[in-house]
Protein backbone atom coordinates (compact mmCIF):
# COMPACT_ATOMS: atom_id res chain seq x y z
CA UNK A 1 0.00 0.00 0.00
CA UNK A 2 1.18 3.50 -0.83
CA UNK A 3 1.78 6.22 1.74
CA UNK A 4 0.57 9.33 -0.07
CA UNK A 5 1.86 12.01 2.32
CA UNK A 6 -0.17 14.88 0.86
CA UNK A 7 -3.44 13.06 0.14
CA UNK A 8 -5.90 15.48 1.70
CA UNK A 9 -8.96 17.35 0.44
CA UNK A 10 -6.88 20.09 -1.18
CA UNK A 11 -4.80 17.61 -3.18
CA UNK A 12 -7.92 15.58 -4.03
CA UNK A 13 -9.50 18.71 -5.53
CA UNK A 14 -6.51 19.16 -7.83
CA UNK A 15 -6.57 15.44 -8.65
CA UNK A 16 -10.25 15.67 -9.52
CA UNK A 17 -9.58 18.55 -11.91
CA UNK A 18 -6.90 16.46 -13.61
CA UNK A 19 -9.14 13.37 -13.92
CA UNK A 20 -12.03 15.41 -15.30
CA UNK A 21 -9.70 17.05 -17.84
CA UNK A 22 -8.32 13.66 -18.89
CA UNK A 23 -11.85 12.30 -19.34
CA UNK A 24 -12.97 15.36 -21.31
CA UNK A 25 -9.93 15.13 -23.61
CA UNK A 26 -10.07 11.32 -23.97
CA UNK A 27 -6.64 11.03 -22.34
CA UNK A 28 -7.25 8.39 -19.70
CA UNK A 29 -4.81 5.51 -19.74
CA UNK A 30 -7.01 2.44 -20.17
CA UNK A 31 -5.40 -0.86 -19.35
CA UNK A 32 -4.72 -3.00 -22.41
CA UNK A 33 -6.21 -5.79 -20.30
CA UNK A 34 -9.60 -4.07 -19.86
CA UNK A 35 -12.67 -5.73 -21.26
CA UNK A 36 -15.61 -3.66 -22.57
CA UNK A 37 -16.96 -3.26 -19.05
CA UNK A 38 -13.59 -1.91 -17.90
CA UNK A 39 -13.45 0.58 -20.74
CA UNK A 40 -16.96 1.80 -19.95
CA UNK A 41 -16.68 1.94 -16.15
CA UNK A 42 -13.10 2.99 -15.52
CA UNK A 43 -13.62 6.76 -15.58
CA UNK A 44 -16.39 6.63 -12.96
CA UNK A 45 -14.46 4.22 -10.74
CA UNK A 46 -11.41 6.48 -10.93
CA UNK A 47 -13.47 9.56 -10.08
CA UNK A 48 -14.91 7.81 -7.03
CA UNK A 49 -11.46 6.67 -5.84
CA UNK A 50 -10.09 10.21 -6.23
CA UNK A 51 -13.03 11.69 -4.29
CA UNK A 52 -13.15 9.20 -1.43
CA UNK A 53 -10.59 6.43 -1.72
CA UNK A 54 -7.10 5.41 -2.75
CA UNK A 55 -5.31 2.92 -4.97
CA UNK A 56 -6.70 0.00 -2.95
CA UNK A 57 -10.33 1.05 -3.30
CA UNK A 58 -9.80 1.59 -7.04
CA UNK A 59 -8.28 -1.90 -7.40
CA UNK A 60 -11.14 -3.46 -5.43
CA UNK A 61 -13.74 -1.66 -7.57
CA UNK A 62 -12.01 -2.79 -10.77
CA UNK A 63 -12.08 -6.39 -9.51
CA UNK A 64 -15.66 -6.29 -8.24
CA UNK A 65 -16.89 -4.72 -11.50
CA UNK A 66 -14.99 -7.42 -13.45
CA UNK A 67 -13.19 -4.85 -15.61
CA UNK A 68 -10.32 -7.08 -16.76
CA UNK A 69 -10.19 -9.84 -19.35
CA UNK A 70 -9.48 -13.26 -17.92
CA UNK A 71 -6.91 -14.02 -20.64
CA UNK A 72 -4.65 -12.05 -22.96
CA UNK A 73 -2.88 -12.89 -26.18
CA UNK A 74 0.90 -12.48 -26.22
CA UNK A 75 2.09 -13.28 -29.71
CA UNK A 76 0.81 -16.72 -30.61
CA UNK A 77 0.24 -17.67 -26.97
CA UNK A 78 -2.86 -16.97 -24.87
CA UNK A 79 -2.13 -16.51 -21.18
CA UNK A 80 -4.16 -15.92 -18.07
CA UNK A 81 -4.13 -12.29 -16.91
CA UNK A 82 -2.26 -12.12 -13.57
CA UNK A 83 -4.53 -11.90 -10.55
CA UNK A 84 -2.70 -8.77 -9.37
CA UNK A 85 -3.36 -6.88 -12.64
CA UNK A 86 -6.14 -4.70 -11.16
CA UNK A 87 -3.96 -3.71 -8.19
CA UNK A 88 -0.87 -3.01 -10.28
CA UNK A 89 -2.89 -0.89 -12.70
CA UNK A 90 -4.77 0.94 -9.93
CA UNK A 91 -1.55 1.75 -8.05
CA UNK A 92 0.04 3.28 -11.12
CA UNK A 93 -3.01 5.26 -12.17
CA UNK A 94 -3.94 6.58 -8.74
CA UNK A 95 -0.32 7.58 -8.16
CA UNK A 96 -0.22 9.37 -11.54
CA UNK A 97 -3.23 11.51 -10.65
CA UNK A 98 -1.94 12.02 -7.11
CA UNK A 99 1.36 13.33 -8.49
CA UNK A 100 -0.51 15.57 -10.93
CA UNK A 101 -2.56 16.97 -8.05
CA UNK A 102 0.53 17.54 -5.90
CA UNK A 103 2.22 19.34 -8.81
CA UNK A 104 -0.70 21.74 -9.19
CA UNK A 105 -0.75 22.36 -5.47
CA UNK A 106 3.01 22.91 -5.29
CA UNK A 107 2.95 25.24 -8.27
CA UNK A 108 0.12 27.25 -6.71
CA UNK A 109 2.00 27.50 -3.43
CA UNK A 110 5.33 28.27 -5.16
CA UNK A 111 7.19 25.19 -3.92
CA UNK A 112 9.32 22.42 -5.35
CA UNK A 113 8.32 18.75 -5.05
CA UNK A 114 10.48 15.90 -3.77
CA UNK A 115 10.63 12.34 -5.07
CA UNK A 116 10.19 9.84 -2.24
CA UNK A 117 9.49 6.14 -1.70
CA UNK A 118 5.74 5.96 -1.17
CA UNK A 119 5.48 2.16 -1.24
CA UNK A 120 7.85 -0.09 0.64
CA UNK A 121 9.99 -2.40 -1.47
CA UNK A 122 12.05 -5.29 -0.16
CA UNK A 123 14.63 -4.69 -2.89
CA UNK A 124 14.28 -1.20 -4.37
CA UNK A 125 15.69 -0.77 -7.86
CA UNK A 126 19.05 1.01 -7.92
CA UNK A 127 17.63 3.54 -10.41
CA UNK A 128 14.86 4.37 -7.93
CA UNK A 129 17.31 4.77 -5.06
CA UNK A 130 19.31 7.25 -7.13
CA UNK A 131 16.40 9.66 -7.58
CA UNK A 132 14.85 9.42 -4.11
CA UNK A 133 15.19 12.81 -2.43
CA UNK A 134 15.56 14.74 -5.69
CA UNK A 135 13.87 18.13 -5.71
CA UNK A 136 11.96 18.95 -8.90
CA UNK A 137 10.08 21.87 -10.41
CA UNK A 138 6.38 20.85 -10.30
CA UNK A 139 5.76 22.29 -13.78
CA UNK A 140 8.39 19.98 -15.25
CA UNK A 141 7.07 16.94 -13.39
CA UNK A 142 3.50 17.66 -14.47
CA UNK A 143 4.54 18.01 -18.09
CA UNK A 144 6.47 14.73 -18.03
CA UNK A 145 3.57 12.86 -16.42
CA UNK A 146 0.99 14.22 -18.85
CA UNK A 147 3.20 13.38 -21.83
CA UNK A 148 3.75 9.78 -20.71
CA UNK A 149 0.46 8.45 -19.40
CA UNK A 150 1.78 4.96 -18.69
CA UNK A 151 5.05 6.24 -17.21
CA UNK A 152 7.33 4.56 -19.74
CA UNK A 153 8.70 7.74 -21.35
CA UNK A 154 9.33 10.09 -18.42
CA UNK A 155 13.09 9.88 -18.39
CA UNK A 156 15.47 8.45 -15.85
CA UNK A 157 14.96 11.13 -13.19
CA UNK A 158 11.20 10.63 -12.69
CA UNK A 159 8.97 8.05 -11.03
CA UNK A 160 7.82 5.67 -13.75
CA UNK A 161 4.73 3.49 -14.05
CA UNK A 162 2.95 1.08 -11.79
CA UNK A 163 5.81 -0.72 -10.11
CA UNK A 164 8.28 2.00 -9.15
CA UNK A 165 6.85 2.64 -5.68
CA UNK A 166 8.00 6.25 -5.98
CA UNK A 167 5.84 9.34 -5.79
CA UNK A 168 6.26 13.02 -4.97
CA UNK A 169 5.53 15.18 -1.96
CA UNK A 170 5.30 18.86 -1.19
CA UNK A 171 8.35 20.68 0.16
CA UNK A 172 8.94 24.06 1.73
CA UNK A 173 11.66 24.79 -0.85
CA UNK A 174 10.58 27.66 -3.12
CA UNK A 175 10.53 27.09 -6.87
CA UNK A 176 13.62 28.62 -8.41
CA UNK A 177 12.90 31.12 -11.15
Band of residue 43 on the pLDDT scale cut at 50, 70, 90 = very high
Contacts of 174 (CB under 8 A, 6+ apart): 110, 111, 112
For residue 147, what pLDDT is reported? Answer: 86
Confidence tier at 151 by pLDDT (50, 70, 90): low
pLDDT at 141: 93
Question: What does the pLDDT read at residue 158?
Answer: 76
Q: Residue ranges of the domains in the chain? A: 9-174
Q: Where are the beta strands (DSSP E) in 8-81?
A: 71-74, 77-80
Choose among 2, 4, 6: nearest CA to 104: 6
3-class SS of residue 8: coil
The three-point CA angle 85-9-144 to 5° equals 55
Coil vs helix vs strand at 36: helix
Q: Is the pLDDT of residue 3 over 70?
A: yes
pLDDT at position 172 is 95
Q: Rounding to the nearest 10 degrees, give the CA dihedral for residues 87, 135, 174, 137.
A: -70
Amino acid sequence: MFNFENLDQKTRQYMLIEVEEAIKNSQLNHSKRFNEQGIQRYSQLLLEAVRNGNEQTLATALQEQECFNSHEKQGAVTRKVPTNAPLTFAEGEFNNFYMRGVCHRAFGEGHMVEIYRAKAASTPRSVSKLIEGNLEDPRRVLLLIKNSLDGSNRGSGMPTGSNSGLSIRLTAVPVQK
